Amino acid sequence: MRLLSTVSNAAPKKSAAWPRWFAASATTMGFASAFAFGTVFCAAAAPPFDYKALRADIEKLLDDDLSVGPVLVRLAWHEAGTWDAKQRDGSPNSASMRFAPECKHAANAGLDKARNLLEPIKKKHPNVSYADLWALAGGIAVEAMGGPTIPFRWGRIDATESKVPDGRLPDASQGPQHVRDVFGRLGFNERDTVALIGAHAVGECHADRSGYVGPWTHDKLGFTNTFFTELLGNDWVIDKTKKKLQYTDLATRKLMMLPSDVALLYDPAYRKWVDKYANDSDAFAADFSRAFQALLELGVSQNLKSL
Ligand code: HIF
């Protein structure tokens, strides 16, 4: 069944995110999200940098060239995504990716571009940590592309080296069990995981970075629920013109899906949330906001302060 005609492509309402946050029961969240939810009320404190001026500089970067948005989101996520919530190791949102060997891990190919883009802003605001800067820039990029507001708390401390083992970030060639293993290690449940993967509405794969090629949606700078509407609304076939195994939409052959994206269709616990978000862009916006904030606070949540 084609679901495209039945779903809303309207941009998510930014104001919808917070009420849903409060309405959500922590018991239905992964423990990573529930942790962030539980600590959001911590006392406000003034950061050692000018938040408004910093925010304005990041917004200007995106205003001048919105096409940098996706790689800033990917930088924030790859910094956060090596965490192991049970063993409490990997990178606890500390910008350790500035250092070898982590910056050279194959999964991080191309992220030097994002790090370099933010360097002049770091120079202008020396008192913000790289880790806070990367997290803030990732959240602002989501918002600039039309996505929900990602609440920002500050206080991440920069690492002085990286001991992150290679292989912590997900392998796009794999299926649902691997996706569950990686996001479970981060502390996310199926609902969080699917909401997060909705970020593949924006950006694209590059032959010289991951080896995969192409965008997931027709508007690669529009952050809405289109990842889900495209995933459900198309017939996906193996793209025999590409080196790595990836899928293309039968109708236009302009879009792509990774094996790990298509996996969400065939796992019933994931599929439930794919169906939900394809039909309810507000639910996607609210759940993405909560899960992405939790992602950007992995390993450091207890130390962060509200603005
Ligand atoms: Fe991605 N992701 N991601 N991703 N990702 C790529 C690009 C982006 C996975 C693989 C890839 C998430 C989860 C997963 C973004 C954001 C997020 C690429 C292509 C690959 C291969 C890189 C390139 O060639 O440039 C896998 C296997 C994931 C687990 C299922 C997150 C949820 C979706 C956590 C997330 O936020 C963004 C944005 C991009 C686009 C970058 C660009 O430069 O355009």
Residue 195's pLDDT is 98
Indicate the pLDDT class of residue 22, thresholds 50, 70 and 90.
very low
Residue 30's pLDDT is 57
Domain with CATH 1.10.420.10 in the chain: 4-32+176-289
CATH top class, domain 37-168+294-306: mainly alpha
Our answer on whether the CB atom of 274 is closer than 6 Å to any ligand 1 atom is no
List pLDDT tens digits, range 215-257.
999 999 999 999 999 999 999 999 999 999 999 999 999 999 9
pTM of the model: 0.89
List pLDDT tens digits, range 96-139.
999 999 999 999 999 999 999 999 999 999 999 999 999 999 99
The residue assigned the tokens 């999964």 is 107
Q: Which atom of ligand 1 is nearest to the CA of 261?
A: 30
Our answer on whether the CB atom of 147 is closer than 6 Å to any ligand 1 atom is no
Ligand 1 centroid to residue 78 C-alpha, Å: 9
Of 78, 105, 125, 200, the catalytic one is 78
Domain with CATH 1.10.520.10 in the chain: 37-168+294-306
Averaged confidence pLDDT in the chain: 89
**216: annotated active-site residue:** yes
Our answer on whether the CB atom of 78 is closer than 6 Å to any ligand 1 atom is no
Kindly report each contact of residues 7-11 with a partner whose C-beta sits within 8 Å and lies 24 or more positions away, as own/partner: 7/225, 7/228, 7/229, 7/233, 7/278, 7/279, 7/281, 8/225, 8/279, 8/280, 8/281, 9/224, 9/225, 9/226, 9/229, 9/281, 10/224, 10/281, 11/146, 11/222, 11/224, 11/281
The residue assigned the tokens 């050692």 is 48
Find the mean pLDDT for residues 150-179.
Answer: 97
Residue 53's pLDDT is 98
Residue 45's pLDDT is 79
Find the mean pLDDT for residues 18-36.
Answer: 41
Find the mean pLDDT for residues 296-304.
Answer: 97
**How many angstroms separate the CA atoms of 8 and 281, rounded?**
7
**78: annotated active-site residue:** yes
Residue 108's pLDDT is 98
Q: Which atom of ligand 1 is nearest to the CA of 220?
A: 44
Q: Which of 12-21, 222-231, 245-254, 275-284 has the lowest mean pLDDT?
A: 12-21
Of 134, 154, 216, 236, the catalytic one is 216
Our answer on whether the CB atom of 228 is closer than 6 Å to any ligand 1 atom is no
Q: Which CATH superfamily hosts domain 4-32+176-289?
A: Peroxidase, domain 2 (1.10.420.10)
Our answer on whether the CB atom of 234 is closer than 6 Å to any ligand 1 atom is no
Q: How many CB atoms lie within 10 A of CB 4?
A: 13
